A and B are shown apart, each in its own frame.
Chain A
Amino acid sequence: MSEPTTNVIEARGLAKTFHVPKNKDGKDRLRALDGIDLTLGRGETLGLVGESGCGKSTLARLLLMLERPDEGTLRFDGVDPFTLKGKELLAWRRRVQMVFQDPFASLNPRMTAADIIAEPWRTHRDVVPSRQDRRKRVLELLDLVGLRAGDAGRYPQEFSGGQRQRIGIARALALDPEVIVCDEPVSALDLSVQAQVLNLLDELQRELKVSYVFISHDLSVVRHVADRVAVMYLGRIVETGTAEEVFEAPRHPYTAALLSAAPELDVSGARRERILLEGEVPSPLDPPSGCRFRTRCWKAEDTCATTVPESQAGAAHQAACHFPLEPAVSG
């Protein structure tokens, strides 16, 4: 707290293992996250990209203290939130909020829009103490996310998916957070509505100067919203860099394959040369030794099976790969 830092969140070596029922090989430990290093700058949007089971949602839950890491440290403005208690913890809770993936499941169907948006104040009573002020603030928030005052008394199921997501965003804004973790906020929405919500998130960032951790499997969405991108594979971050670096000049083979696999809207004719990966993501119950991507990688050699590739420390654009792709952007 003493020294000013530009990073809101700094995570070092975060790891999380879940105990699950034994599978047929007798494995019962699911290594969801393994050695995650992550920083989030103030006012920045960090895109977290990866396929299902890569651990991005677990990471989001860790950042919100819905889960506790087994190893590693999480610093929020230099303070480890997991050491906080009582009032301090409550004060910390205000600073980080979440927008959930499923706008249908994340709103209690028995509460009105106004009740949902005002719910955080029932725990944080001092934020908006008086009744009239709460009412007023709810209307302000509704307006901020592009809903009408008349929507306050309606129930979630009376709204469309896009509108529900707006309610979820308003609820996340109710405590004036500094960081909002968006877990696939638009993946349940139709394309035309998705654009509306993305625009809203963008406007809010400019107006309120919040930082986003933006989790998505949709590369085109991440490319649009993120300043920096971290690509995850089987519980590890395999590549980080600015959105431009990662998308234009990927260094990790997995990133390249992921980008190549995403279909493009280009209808100009010629089919692109496409990297088609073999097989699917291995089970996190039994991840490959060494580099986790080696079983599907076309560049894999013996060393990949024995040594875990490290990211180049300090570099802005890092790839955890023994044989990063060229042209290499030297950090």
Chain B
Amino acid sequence: MTVSEQKKGGDSMTATLDTAAQPEDARSQAGRTRWWTLLLRDRVATAAAVVLLLVVLATTLGQLLIGDLDTKQNLRATNTPPGFGHGWEFVLGSDALGRSVLARLMVAGGTSLSVAVPAVLISLIVGGAWGMWAGYHRGWRENVSMRVADIILSFPSLLLAVVVLYIFSPSAANIVAVLAIARIPVYLRTARAESAELRGRLFVDAARTFGTRSGAVIVRHIAPVVAPTLLTVATVDFCFVMLAESSLSFLGIGIQPPDVSWGLMVAQGRQYLQTAWWTAVFPGLAIVITTVSATLLASWFRLATDPAQRWRLALPRGRRGRRSAPVLPEVTQ
């Protein structure tokens, strides 16, 4: 077998070859290493986890610290540039109404996360489960599911949101529901494709020979393989949902002032981009940093949950190359 074929063969095959050559001690070690030890071994993933933790802390506990700073207007100090000259609350500057950007970021983060996280989770769980079910059973279930997904996808999600939110009130719950429904097809399709492929695997056949019910097969054999992929999709989607929410806010049917979200802050700050760049750039950065951290953590999670790949994380730091480095631990014939 050549290397290129192996790569085509996908994760499982390469993984197979990799770990076969693993020495006894490293193996048992890798099997027992705790999650946090594995996490600490990957500096990038650790950093991502710390950032996410900070974001969560800032948007929850942080709000308690700032009191009413986020809404307190100070018209004598409008559009203060970032710096340390005006006290800690204006480290990131102030906006056109003289409100602390830092404080507003914290509050807005809470709103953004409370919209994006449930929306992503709902579409992930519903779309993922639906997709795995459709892919496992094939036949009409698959066909109907895929057509439904096509219909949802072919409908511009923003338009859908506009229509729905005009009819119902633009509350946070409705925004979550609309965004979740619009993103379900993404997970549905991914999960269906992987599940349909896994269904043909021999270990699924083996489970069927014991009389295992399809639900149990999906939970035991299909979900653990599909989940990391879906999670990766979800972290990318996280960014999309936050931006979609900001578009809705920009159109006036999303988060309604005086509430504020990162997306809304970007939208509001856009008109001051020439004079007060910080009002738009910092919330934008917050979105990017949060999303990138989530993506990095997801890719770590993907490795850590795969027993065939986990050894990569268990290697001493210095010796470990990047994950994609050409390493071929077993002779391939």
Whole-angstrom CA separation of A124 from B307 in the bound complex? 27
Whole-angstrom CA separation of A102 from B12 in the bound complex? 14
Q: A105-B203, A155-B308 are in contact. Are A90 and B211 (CB under 8 A)?
A: yes
Chain B residues lying within 8 Å of A80, measured Cβ to Cβ, are none
Chain B residues lying within 8 Å of A93, measured Cβ to Cβ, are 209-211
Of A66, A101, A104, A154, the residue contacting B208 (CB under 8 A) is A66
Asked if B202 CB lies within 8 Å of chain A CBs, one says yes
Q: A93-B209, A93-B210, A109-B12 are in contact. Are A119 and B220 (CB under 8 A)?
A: yes
Q: A109-B12, A160-B20 are in contact. Are A100 and B307 (CB under 8 A)?
A: no
Whole-angstrom CA separation of A153 from B15 in the bound complex? 18
CB-nearest residue of chain A relative to B207? A119
In the complex the two chains form, is B213's CB within 8 Å of A110's CB? no
Asked if A98 CB lies within 8 Å of chain B CBs, one says yes
Asked if A158 CB lies within 8 Å of chain B CBs, one says yes
Chain A residues lying within 8 Å of B89, measured Cβ to Cβ, are none
Scan A128-155; emit 1 where CB is below 8 A from any B CB, else 0. Answer: 0000000000000000000000000111
In the complex the two chains form, is B308's CB within 8 Å of A109's CB? yes
Q: A109-B307, A110-B307, A158-B20 are in contact. Are A100 and B205 (CB under 8 A)?
A: yes
Of B207, B212, B306, the residue contacting A110 (CB under 8 A) is B306
Of B15, B206, B306, the residue contacting A106 (CB under 8 A) is B206
Query: How far, in Å, is A63 (CB) from chain B's closest CB?
Result: 10
Whole-angstrom CA separation of A236 from B224 in the bound complex? 40
Query: How far, in Å, is B202 (CB) from chain A's closest CB?
Result: 4
Query: How far, in Å, is B237 (CB) from chain A's closest CB?
Result: 24
In the complex the two chains form, is A158's CB within 8 Å of B19's CB? yes
Asked if B201 CB lies within 8 Å of chain A CBs, one says yes
Asked if B31 CB lies within 8 Å of chain A CBs, one says yes
Query: How far, in Å, is B37 (CB) from chain A's closest CB?
Result: 17
User: Chain B interface residue count: which class?
Assistant: 20 to 34
Chain B residues lying within 8 Å of A90, measured Cβ to Cβ, are 211
Asked if B273 CB lies within 8 Å of chain A CBs, one says no
In the complex the two chains form, is B308's CB within 8 Å of A106's CB? no
Asked if B171 CB lies within 8 Å of chain A CBs, one says no
In the complex the two chains form, is A155's CB within 8 Å of B307's CB? yes
Q: A110-B224, A155-B308, A157-B16 are in contact. Are A98 and B209 (CB under 8 A)?
A: yes
Q: A98-B206, A123-B213 are in contact. Are A109 and B20 (CB under 8 A)?
A: no
Question: Could you list some 5 contacts between A and B, CB below 8 A?
Answer: A122-B212, A122-B220, A123-B216, A154-B31, A158-B27
In the complex the two chains form, is B201's CB within 8 Å of A105's CB? yes
Interface residues of A in 62-116 (CB under 8 A from B): 64, 66, 89-90, 93, 96-98, 100-102, 104-110, 112
Whole-angstrom CA separation of A159 from B211 in the bound complex? 27
Interface residues of B in 11-40 (CB under 8 A from A): 12-13, 15-16, 18-20, 22, 27-28, 31
4 closest cross-chain pairs (CB), A and B: A93-B211, A106-B202, A120-B210, A157-B19
CB-nearest residue of chain B relative to A120? B210
Asked if B225 CB lies within 8 Å of chain A CBs, one says yes
Asked if A197 CB lies within 8 Å of chain B CBs, one says no
Of B22, B27, B31, B211, the residue contacting A124 (CB under 8 A) is B211
Whole-angstrom CA separation of A109 from B311 in the bound complex? 14
- Per DSSP, chain A at the interface is loop
What residues of chain B have their CB less than 8 Å away from a CB belonging to chain A?
A: 12-13, 15-16, 18-20, 22, 27-28, 31, 201-203, 205-213, 216, 220-221, 224-225, 305-308
Whole-angstrom CA separation of A171 from B305 in the bound complex? 24
Chain B residues lying within 8 Å of A238, measured Cβ to Cβ, are none
In the complex the two chains form, is B216's CB within 8 Å of A122's CB? yes
What residues of chain A have their CB less than 8 Å away from a CB belonging to chain B?
A: 61, 64, 66, 89-90, 93, 96-98, 100-102, 104-110, 112, 119-120, 122-124, 153-155, 157-160, 168, 171, 175
Chain A residues lying within 8 Å of B203, measured Cβ to Cβ, are 105-108
In the complex the two chains form, is A100's CB within 8 Å of B19's CB? no
Q: A155-B308, A157-B18 are in contact. Are A110 and B225 (CB under 8 A)?
A: yes
Query: How far, in Å, is A114 (CB) from chain B's closest CB?
Result: 12
Whole-angstrom CA separation of A247 from B180 in the bound complex? 66
In the complex the two chains form, is A157's CB within 8 Å of B210's CB? no
Chain B residues lying within 8 Å of A159, measured Cβ to Cβ, are 20
In the complex the two chains form, is B211's CB within 8 Å of A171's CB? no
Whole-angstrom CA separation of A50 from B51 in the bound complex? 61
Chain A residues lying within 8 Å of B213, measured Cβ to Cβ, are 123
Query: How far, in Å, is B175 (CB) from chain A's closest CB?
Result: 36
Q: A102-B202, A105-B201, A122-B212 are in contact. Are A157 and B207 (CB under 8 A)?
A: no
CB-nearest residue of chain A relative to B305? A110
Of B15, B20, B31, B210, the residue contacting A119 (CB under 8 A) is B210
Query: How far, in Å, is A68 (CB) from chain B's closest CB?
Result: 13
In the complex the two chains form, is A105's CB within 8 Å of B202's CB? yes
Given A93-B211, A109-B12, 12 more pairs with CB closer than 8 A: A93-B209, A96-B209, A100-B205, A101-B202, A108-B203, A109-B15, A110-B307, A119-B210, A155-B19, A157-B20, A158-B19, A158-B20
Of the candidates A155, A157, A175, the one having the most CB atoms from chain B within 10 angstroms of its own CB is A157
Query: How far, in Å, is B302 (CB) from chain A's closest CB?
Result: 12
Chain A residues lying within 8 Å of B212, measured Cβ to Cβ, are 119, 122-123
CB-nearest residue of chain B relative to A171? B206
Q: A100-B205, A155-B19, A158-B20 are in contact. Are A175 and B210 (CB under 8 A)?
A: yes
Of the candidates B202, B205, B209, B213, the one having the most CB atoms from chain A within 10 angstroms of its own CB is B209
In the complex the two chains form, is A97's CB within 8 Å of B209's CB? yes
Whole-angstrom CA separation of A96 from B15 in the bound complex? 32
In the complex the two chains form, is B210's CB within 8 Å of A109's CB? no
Query: How far, in Å, is B319 (CB) from chain A's closest CB?
Result: 20
Query: How far, in Å, is A164 (CB) from chain B's closest CB?
Result: 10
CB-nearest residue of chain A relative to B222? A108
Whole-angstrom CA separation of A105 from B19 in the bound complex? 15
Whole-angstrom CA separation of A166 from B220 in the bound complex? 22
CB-nearest residue of chain A relative to B18? A157
Query: How far, in Å, is A205 (CB) from chain B's closest CB?
Result: 19
